Amino acid sequence: MNRGVLVTGASRGIGRAVALALAAGGDRVAVHYATRHEDAEQTLTALPGTGHVLVRGDLSEAGAAHRIAEDAERALGGVDVLVNNAAVAPTAQSTHRVAEASFAQWQDVWRTTLAVTLLGAADLTYWVARSMLERGTRGSIVNVGSRGASRGEPDHPAYGASKAALHSFGQSMAVALAPHGIAVTTVAPGPVATERQGEQLAGATGEALRAQSPFGRVGTPEEVAAAVVYLASPDAVWASGTVLDLNGASYLRA
């Protein structure tokens, strides 16, 4: 399509798969990363087509979202699609069960998670949407949420809450931006086989996660990417405001 696309957290995992899928469709992709420069370079090298760039920035830092948006706009000649994928993922190290975590750990995980997963996405959406409005672009914004927003995350409550807020934020923006022809949607994956989840998917924990789905497995980054590609397309404008569950029937909302 030859659109300018900004994918946050695209150094690996779901973000890399999304970047690859959009580039395969002819889009020019800004690969955002915070610290994993080598991984981001690998993503960039793997992208088909031309015109792709790296954009660095820590979304938890004040002013970073504005710089990231400006860098992507300048390099691509405008951002037509924003994919808010960057997040603080739930890991064994970030576990913060209320009955076990110290208050200092509790505070640290909550603030770090909200700063990137929710506030970073909100700030970046603001700057990209404002640019779309100024240019008269009928673009798309796709947020990467989580099954945990509805199912609950007792071991990682900050993650579940941040994703639930991201879902709600996306729906608010869908209503706000529809008069300008900008569609906003969200995908809500269940467990996905990414590098960051390798430890969790091993052994008995992995068996339990796979057993949650009647398919007997977890999702793949490519399956999430396929949904993002559709929701970012002009054909999906009427889906604006939707939260698309991608969890292999492991959790069904009423």
3-state secondary structure the chain: CCCEEEECCCCCHHHHHHHHHHHHCCCEEEEEECCCHHHHHHHHHHCCCCCCEEEECCCCCCCHHHHHHHHHHHHHCCCCEEEECCCCCCCCCCCCCCCCCCHHHHHHHHHHHHHHHHHHHHHHHHHHHHHHHHHCCCCEEEEECCCHHHHCCCCCHHHHHHHHHHHHHHHHHHHHHHHHCCEEEEEEECCECCHHHCCCCCHHHHHHHHHCCCCCCCECHHHHHHHHHHHCCHHHHHHCCCEEEECCCCCCCC
Active-site entry in 159, 162, 240, 250:
159
Active-site entry in 11, 131, 140, 163:
163
The partner residues of 245 in beta bridges, in order of sequence, read 188
Active-site entry in 146, 162, 240, 250:
146
Active site residue 150: no
Alpha carbon 250 to chain centroid distance? 20
Active site residue 159: yes
53 to 6, 23, 72, 75: CA distances (angstroms) = 10, 12, 8, 7
The total of other beta-carbon atoms located within 10 Å of residue 223's CB is 17
- φ, ψ (nearest 5 deg) of residue 220: -120, 155
Active site residue 163: yes
Active site residues: 146, 159, 163
